[in-house]
Amino acid sequence: MDYRVAEYLIAIDLSGSLRAAADRLGVTQPTLTKAVRRLEDEVGAPLFTRTARGVTLTVFGEAVLRHARAIKASVKEAHEEVAALKQGLGGRVRIGAGPSWQRSVLPEAIEAFQQDWPRVHLEIAGGMDDQLKARLRAGELDIVLAAMSGPIPVEPDLTGRALIDDVYGIIAGASHPLAQLKGPIALSVLVGQTWILPGRGSLMVLRLAAIFQAHGLPAPDAIIETDIAQLKMRLMAKADYLSFHALNQLKESNPGPIVPLAVPDARWRRSAGIMMRRGVSPNPAATAMIAAIEDVCAKAEFAVAAE
């Protein structure tokens, strides 16, 4: 599949019809139809399902679309890298990272990186893991520092490696009644409490629900849903809320009167690390930045233990 066909496939997916995609691309509909049929012949499977409203991707089409996006992103990156070198900028590295990475890893990694690569432009983008991964797939980021479901990311179009382990646990304000208890707290005691959690589809919330359900208990139902850590901590400091949070991050961020509760059945160890697009080699500057990040993580107390 060449770049032109990749553009065709992406445009059809975005437009929802061959006619609209042809208009978007400035080509005739027969030209687009012929290109789609040729690609379907090459892969040996139908890529689209025709409907009265237009077309939708088949499961085969979804798989080919991932590769089309990777091709388009790679060409875009090549143009940007050449343009940067022509301007004497020495390259550009675009990194996506959440708040904990911004506080605990990136400052030291950037400082070390710039000693050897002072002319490279760095772009640091924040956001939730799912948003950053979407930007990575679209070629808008070179590296994403994000949570993984295991030591190796399961996304078929992404690759990477785990660098740190976060232990998640239940947290509360220091004045919360449960924070006054001595000894381990049973998971059942948390049923019916008032919770602040991220969105219902987030990996963290799904894992917490699975922990409760594995013990035959109803999953927590958050009265407030937010991924803004500072807002959550401010609210928890003044009212009796519970939440599920990375305990290492809690220690680093110094959130005030927020403490971990002794609920051993609600502990969850999660790996996080560097993610990149599969099959796309990072440029030399990005490779150096990856090495700097790995060096910082290797020295951290919550680095992934050697196998």
- Examine the domain organization and report whether 186 and 239 are in the same domain: yes
Domain final residue, candidates 18, 45, 71: 71
- Pairing mode, strands 258-260 and 158-173: antiparallel
- Examine the domain organization and report whether 116 and 255 are in the same domain: no
Residue 50's pLDDT is: 83
CATH number of the domain that residue 48 is part of: 1.10.10.10
- The residue range of the domain holding 97 is 77-163+271-299
Residue 43's pLDDT is: 85
How do the pLDDT tens digits run along the chain, 307 residues long? Answer: 778 888 888 888 888 888 888 888 888 888 888 888 888 888 888 888 888 788 888 888 888 888 888 888 777 777 766 666 555 455 789 999 987 788 888 999 999 999 988 888 899 998 878 889 889 988 899 999 988 765 444 577 888 888 988 889 999 999 999 999 989 999 999 999 999 998 888 878 999 999 999 999 999 999 999 988 889 999 999 999 999 998 877 766 666 789 999 999 999 988 889 999 988 888 888 899 999 999 998 887 655 544 3
Residue 57's pLDDT is: 87
Domain final residue, candidates 55, 71, 87: 71
Task: With respect to residue 115, please indicate whether it lies within any of the assigned structural domains.
Answer: yes
- Examine the domain organization and report whether 89 and 169 are in the same domain: no
> Rounded CA gap, 166 and 268, in Å?
8
CATH number of the domain that residue 227 is part of: 3.40.190.290
Indicate the number of domains in the chain. 3
Residue 306's pLDDT is: 41
Identity (one letter) of the amino acid at 120? V
- Examine the domain organization and report whether 219 and 206 are in the same domain: yes
Whole-Å CA distances, 60 to 29, 46, 65, 183, 187: 22, 7, 9, 54, 44
- Examine the domain organization and report whether 178 and 260 are in the same domain: yes
Alpha helices in the chain (DSSP H): 3-15, 18-25, 29-43, 59-86, 99-104, 106-116, 129-137, 203-214, 229-238, 247-253, 284-299
Residue 301's pLDDT is: 61
- Examine the domain organization and report whether 170 and 159 are in the same domain: no
Task: With respect to residue 307, please indicate whether it lies within any of the assigned structural domains.
Answer: no
- Examine the domain organization and report whether 9 and 141 are in the same domain: no
Beta-carbon contacts of 167 under 8 Å, excluding residues fewer than 6 positions away, are 246, 247, 248, 267, 268, 269, 270, 302
Question: Model-level pTM?
Answer: 0.58
Task: With respect to residue 306, please indicate whether it lies within any of the assigned structural domains.
Answer: no
Beta-carbon contacts of 192 under 8 Å, excluding residues fewer than 6 positions away, are none
- Examine the domain organization and report whether 279 and 159 are in the same domain: yes
Residue 276's pLDDT is: 92
Task: With respect to residue 305, please indicate whether it lies within any of the assigned structural domains.
Answer: no
- Examine the domain organization and report whether 41 and 81 are in the same domain: no
Task: With respect to residue 213, please indicate whether it lies within any of the assigned structural domains.
Answer: yes
Task: With respect to residue 18, please indicate whether it lies within any of the assigned structural domains.
Answer: yes
SS3 at position 168: strand
- Examine the domain organization and report whether 150 and 175 are in the same domain: no
- Examine the domain organization and report whether 22 and 97 are in the same domain: no
- Examine the domain organization and report whether 159 and 285 are in the same domain: yes
Task: With respect to residue 304, please indicate whether it lies within any of the assigned structural domains.
Answer: no
